[in-house]
Structure 1
Amino acid sequence: MSITVTTWSLEQTSPADLAPADPPAADSGVRVVRSEAASPEFSRFLYTAVGGDVIWTDRLVWPYERWQAFLDRPGVETWVAYEHGTPAGYIELEAQGEGVVEIAYFGLLPAFRGRRIGGHLLGEGTARAWDLAERHPRLSPTKRVWVHTCSKDGPHALDNYRRRGFRLFDTTTAEEPETPPPGPWPGA
């Protein structure tokens, strides 16, 4: 059995395109912090915890060494939203050369969705994509930030990107095998 999946690709071509969300209330306990120590275990935890119910599967086969090599690349950064010290979601940035930065992954753990954390995290993470070269001097200054989302992602994903100032530049539709959500791996 297969399902039709629509994928939308969106971009910003100037830091002025970014429309930040209102920050959470001061007493919400929400903060966004860069995960500065490359940790395959933590990155895989975030990937499976956020993507387990929306069928993120491409990295499930990555061995530890591949995670480490990816995280050690210049211009790969993980920014984590915490609520009162608990990971609520993350955004992963990947420099792709010539001033292009992809938001490779972005999302919230299911328990934190619908609580106005996602817009704030996306805004903060996109701002960090625009100033990525300041933290990685060998990179070219960012000229473009892009992301893709699909109809398997959360129902508010596309609207959140648009509200943050991303513009649609491509739409594709494809048939994919229907697979049940994998959930986190044992021990996650």
Structure 2
Amino acid sequence: MLTDGFHPIPPGRVAAIVTHLRMDRPPAAPPAPELDLRHVPAPDPAWYRDLFTRVGAVDWLWFSRLRMSEAELRAILHDPDVEIRVLERDGRAEGLMELDFRTTGTCELAFFGLAPALQGQGLGRRMMQAALHHGFARGVPEMTVHTCTFDSPVALPFYMRSGFVPVRQEVEVVRDPRADGTLPPDAAPHIPRIG
């Protein structure tokens, strides 16, 4: 348990505040999704990593899937209880929605976002409509999502406007992915590198 006050972060590490959110019931009579998101069963890990990087690793500090071995990532992506859907523009995936049903009784919106070229066009709201539709379609009683200070500052308010409610917070301290080559040194310039 952390005590009140300041706590030093070792050089070469970064810290984030993680907020976990939950939605206990789908929005009343959710309409069919407006966006046609292509379901990608059992995607190739290299294809997934490319999309993951473009959506979250360059401007933000998404790195978890980039540190996994190909076998670890393939095991997740090929699990029948993990559903990958993408928003495409000109034949290229530019939006990522990953629904994880591996925990009984819940659907985790594990990853959700748009590449920079599609941001600011209202597509996120429509993607969220699709996420809620597909997430609750399997009859689970809740959906969860988490975000952190490594993510876009609009993510947490967006999830709350979408109907998710914050339920707990954690502090995460990790090896800086820019220091070990997981991400380029200039990724997420709003998060300072120390050491």
Q: What's the TM-score once normalised by structure 1's chain length?
A: 0.76
Q: 1:39 to 1:165 in 2, by over 3 A?
A: same
Q: For the Cα contact (< 8 Å) 1:89–1:107, is it kept in 2? A: yes
Instruction: Name the CA shift for 1:66/1:167 in 2 (closer, same or farther; >3 Å).
Output: same
With over 3 angstroms needed to count, the CA separation of the structure-2 counterparts of 1:8 and 1:113, relative to structure 1, is same
Per the alignment, residue 162 of structure 1 pairs with: 160
Q: How does 1:144-155 map to 2 (within 5 A)?
A: 144-155=142-153
String of CA shifts for 1:62-111, please: whole Å, max 9, x gaps.
23222222122121010101234332211111113321111111111122
- State the superposition RMSD in angstroms: 2.6
Q: 81, 90, 102: which one pairs with 2:87?
A: 81
Answer yes or no: is the 8 Å Cα contact 1:31–1:83 preserved in 2. Answer: no
Contact 1:11–1:144 (CA<8 Å) still a contact in 2? yes
1:9 and 2:10 aligned: no
For 2:141 and 2:133, the matched residues in 1 are separated by 12
Structure 1: give runs of 5+ residues left out of the alignment. 24-29, 134-140, 184-188
Q: Alpha carbons of 1:112 and 1:77: their partners in 2 closer, same or farther (altered >3 Å)? A: same
Contact in 1 for aligned 2:42/2:79 (Cα 8 Å): no
| Kept in 1: contact 2:108–2:145 (CA 8 A) | yes
Aligned pairs, number: 168
Unaligned runs of 5+ in 2: 1-10, 185-195
Match of 1:27 in 2: none
Q: Which residue of 1 aligns with 2:170?
A: 172
1:52 to 57, 77, 80: 57
- Distance in 2 (CA, whole Å) between partners of 1:18 and 1:144 is 16
Equivalent residue number for residue 74 of structure 2: 68
Identical aligned pairs, as a percentage?
27
Q: Identify, as 1 or 2, the structure richer in strand.
A: 1
Query: Structure 1 residues 99, 18: closer, same or farther in 2, change over 3 A?
Result: farther
Alignment-derived partner of residue 127 in structure 1: 133
- Larger of the two Rg values belongs to structure: 2
